[in-house]
Structure 1
Amino acid sequence: MFIAPERLQAIGVKFEPVARRPLDHVIRTVGRVEVDERLLSRVTLKLEGWIDKLYVNYTGESVQRGQVLFTLYSPELVATAEEYLIALRSSQTLGHSDFPEVAAGARALLAASRRRLLLWDIEASHLRDLERTGQVQTTLPIHAPQSGTVINKMAVAGLQVKPGDELYTIADLSSIWIVGDIYEYELPLIAVGQSAGVSLSYAPDEVWQARIGFIYPTVDPQTRTGKVRFELTNPGEKLKPGMYANLTLRVPLGERLAVPKDAVLESGERRIVFIHHGGGRLEWRNARIGQRSGDWVEVLEGLQEGEHVVTAANFLIDSESQLKSAVGGMAGMKH
């Protein structure tokens, strides 16, 4: 078709060459903030007893490694500690006996008593105090195994506890996970170590940087998505477990033949692009497009590198083309 150059200028037509450009594919999804499982500790006991005094007594409290959480009264522990002191005195008395069997027996009894206490996770410092003072303490302090935040607390003063009871859960929230769902067709585009932007819907201008730490090996058959774990530091602990966060990944695709997205007119299933051959001569073509990247669209078929496409006022050109076709058809009917 032909449109006079003056007319093209009047309606604001602009052109852009078809060229190879670096494109990227943007993946956007929503993820849930979770505790880093590697920075999680559960406080349990290996012996029975009663909680005597509670020092850390509410969920959300910050604790330091080695801080006393509570003291435990355990009749079994008290009895075993007393047996240990008896074995210690016997070893000191009989360890130099003229009868080797007696000396060996005393040492074996002491070792067995000590081993039993250590199997209950009694700290070596507590044993040293016991040996130094010769006095059995009726309660045992239980310490925090790591620094962090108490995210679950079952301990109550006076509570009877049994081996395996979970009394506290402590999490270090200075580093957290975000688990998001990625469509299966996008999974081949990502890899462990790849970076991603993290933001919250109510604070979109604040962006954290995360990295992919793990890609889960299964896909949900209902949603056709796979779970991906993003890892990041959490200064100020602004990101809290249970929050939802927006995730953005940019995957470089390399150089691809591309045109501005405004050059492509969508008509049903067809993608139409107007080519300018110069001097007002225009041609429309069907184009097969691929990846979309910001303001650019990848061209798979229909256009050649170096051709000029219409990027502005192409709707007006399309309308004028349809009008000329209609007028031409009416003129043909009169003949």
Structure 2
Amino acid sequence: MNRKLLLGVVGLVVITALAITAYSLKDRILSWSRPQTAATQPAAGHQNHGTAGESQTAKDDQVQATERQAPTLEIASEKQQMIGTQTADVSIRPLRKILRTTGRIEADEQKIATINAKFEGWIERLYADTTGKTIRRGDPLADFYSPDLTATQQEYLNLLQWKKGSDGREINPLVARDADNILAAARRRLQLWDISDEQIRRLEETGKSMRTMTLYSPVNGTIVQKNAVLGMRVMPGDKLFDVADLSTLWIIADVYEQDLDLVRVGLPARFTISAMPGKTFTAPVEYIYPTLAGETRTAKLRFRIGNAGMNLRPQMFTSMELIINLGRLLSVPEDAVLDTGERRIVYVVRSEGEFEPREVRTGVQADGFVEILEGLRSGDKVAASATFLIDSEAQLKGVRPLSGGHKTHNLE
């Protein structure tokens, strides 16, 4: 009896387990075979056109940002008077920039001569005995004793005497021609040693070699450097004097590299010298040097001025004004532009008491005005004073220029 009961219980458990398994398999088969509903299926075209949808959304956002009204700041008229707000018109006006800098007077390098020795010898007399002495072409500078020079003189005299003695006698034509060539070579050697034709003629007339020979100045000018000393020994190539013609001088002025683009050869400049108050000199730019000074980041300009009265001296300092006509440019007063370091802002008057912050692109500054390259039109009106206070008020109220700047072109 107990055995039958146990078998019945086991059979019931097995049947129950089989029923549960069959029911689970039925639900799984139905879920596999059931079609997807609209709620579970992907949206039509979603897989293929997702990127296009996102792009369209971005374009819509961009259009909305572009079409939104520019932000403005309202300031009551009483408050404007309190902070001293003034306005100015944006207009096209002629601008002229004046570069002010300093310069110094220097000797004209093209009129500096060096006088040196061309033979070995000793200075036995010095005529040009001081620096700063004015000399003229042909003035004596020094007397030299030179064994080489004395020997060359004697050689020339011997050849000259032989030639005179051979006149009227029959000699071999080849020997006569060689003698003439040797005599001409000796004369040429004396000339190359800066012995003048007058000295050679005197040598021929006297028939005696001179113990000392005089060196004469080949140029006019002022001795700016003197190395010659009485009694000193000189060797070929030794510099004895530097002579400069100071009738014309150079002015060398420095200009910063950011202004170089405005400078042209021929631009007129005015000069004043502290040692000559009340007197003004004018000269055009003659040359722009091609290099910059690394320490000061400046380039050099060269001017040439006359010095007929010899009142100007090298190394005098000068003050210079270089006048540059920039033409007619769209511009606003300098105080109207607020430079934040990253961009430049102006406050455009939209209506009475209403200002719009606007980013602009600027050019040159001249005559108290700033050139506007982009951001404003001729006829616009901007705040020309108290811009810092207006900007502070705008920052407090969160009013800022449109992102990306205002793309207004400079049209008259």
User: Normalising by the residue count of structure 2, what TM-score does the alignment of the two structures yield?
Assistant: 0.67
Aligned partner letter, 1:16? A
The answer as to whether partners of 1:211 and 1:232 remain within 8 angstroms in 2 is no
Deviation at 1:181, TM superposition (A): 4.4
Shift in CA distance, 202/75, structure 1 to aligned 2, threshold 3 Å: closer
Gaps of 5+ in 1: 327-335
The answer as to whether partners of 1:33 and 1:176 remain within 8 angstroms in 2 is yes
More helix by share: 2
Q: What's the counterpart of residue 381 of structure 2?
A: 308
Equivalent-residue separation in structure 2 for 1:277 and 1:201 (angstroms): 51
2:118 pairs with 1:118: no
Range that drifts further, 220-229 or 81-90: 220-229
Range that drifts further, 266-275 or 7-16: 7-16
Shift in CA distance, 266/202, structure 1 to aligned 2, threshold 3 Å: farther
2:177 pairs with 1:97: no
Aligned partner letter, 1:306? G
Equivalent-residue separation in structure 2 for 1:321 and 1:202 (angstroms): 53
Aligned partner letter, 1:73? Y
Deviation at 1:123, TM superposition (A): 1.0
The answer as to whether partners of 2:87 and 2:383 remain within 8 angstroms in 1 is yes
More strand by share: 1
2:138 pairs with 1:138: no
Match of 1:16 among 67, 74, 88: 88
Gaps of 5+ in 2: 1-72, 400-412
Deviation at 1:80, TM superposition (A): 1.9
2:240 pairs with 1:161: no
Match of 2:137 among 65, 88, 111: 65
Q: What's the counterpart of residue 329 of structure 1?
A: none
Give runs of aligned pairs for residues 209-288 of structure 1, distance below 5 A.
209-220=282-293, 224-267=297-340, 269-277=342-350, 279-288=352-361
Equivalent-residue separation in structure 1 for 2:277 and 2:396 (angstroms): 46
Shift in CA distance, 266/203, structure 1 to aligned 2, threshold 3 Å: farther
Deviation at 1:298, TM superposition (A): 0.9
Deviation at 1:168, TM superposition (A): 0.9
The answer as to whether partners of 2:194 and 2:215 remain within 8 angstroms in 1 is no
Match of 2:371 among 284, 293, 298: 298
Shift in CA distance, 319/223, structure 1 to aligned 2, threshold 3 Å: closer
The answer as to whether partners of 2:123 and 2:230 remain within 8 angstroms in 1 is yes
Task: Write out per-residue CA displacement over residues 271-292 of structure 1, whole angstroms, 9 at most, x where no aligned residue.
Answer: 3333334545443433332211
Where 1:287 maps in the other structure, the secondary structure is strand
The answer as to whether partners of 2:195 and 2:215 remain within 8 angstroms in 1 is no
Deviation at 1:259, TM superposition (A): 1.0
The answer as to whether partners of 1:95 and 1:106 remain within 8 angstroms in 2 is no
Q: What's the counterpart of residue 34 of structure 1?
A: 106
Equivalent-residue separation in structure 2 for 1:313 and 1:256 (angstroms): 24
Shift in CA distance, 285/34, structure 1 to aligned 2, threshold 3 Å: same
Give runs of aligned pairs for residues 174-185 of structure 1, distance below 5 A.
174-185=247-258
Task: Write out per-residue CA displacement over residues 203-241 of structure 1, whole angstroms, 9 at most, x where no aligned residue.
Answer: 786543344333333445565544443333345445543
Deviation at 1:103, TM superposition (A): 2.8
Greater Rg, structure 1 or structure 2?
2
Aligned partner letter, 1:86? N
The answer as to whether partners of 1:191 and 1:212 remain within 8 angstroms in 2 is yes
**Identity of paired residues, percent?**
44
The answer as to whether partners of 1:24 and 1:253 remain within 8 angstroms in 2 is yes
Aligned partner letter, 2:248? S
Equivalent-residue separation in structure 2 for 1:316 and 1:189 (angstroms): 34
Task: Write out per-residue CA displacement over residues 236-258 of structure 1, whole angstroms, 9 at most, x where no aligned residue.
Answer: 44554344444443333332210
The answer as to whether partners of 1:183 and 1:226 remain within 8 angstroms in 2 is yes
Range that drifts further, 121-130 or 314-323: 314-323
Shift in CA distance, 137/151, structure 1 to aligned 2, threshold 3 Å: same
Q: What's the counterpart of residue 149 of structure 1?
A: 222
Shift in CA distance, 96/186, structure 1 to aligned 2, threshold 3 Å: farther
Deviation at 1:146, TM superposition (A): 1.8
Where 2:200 maps in the other structure, the secondary structure is helix
Equivalent-residue separation in structure 2 for 1:89 and 1:185 (angstroms): 73
Aligned partner letter, 2:246? L
Q: What's the counterpart of residue 86 of structure 1?
A: 158
Range that drifts further, 169-178 or 195-204: 195-204
Structural RMSD (CA): 3.4
Deviation at 1:77, TM superposition (A): 1.8
Q: What's the counterpart of residue 3 of structure 2?
A: none
Equivalent-residue separation in structure 2 for 1:268 and 1:204 (angstroms): 42
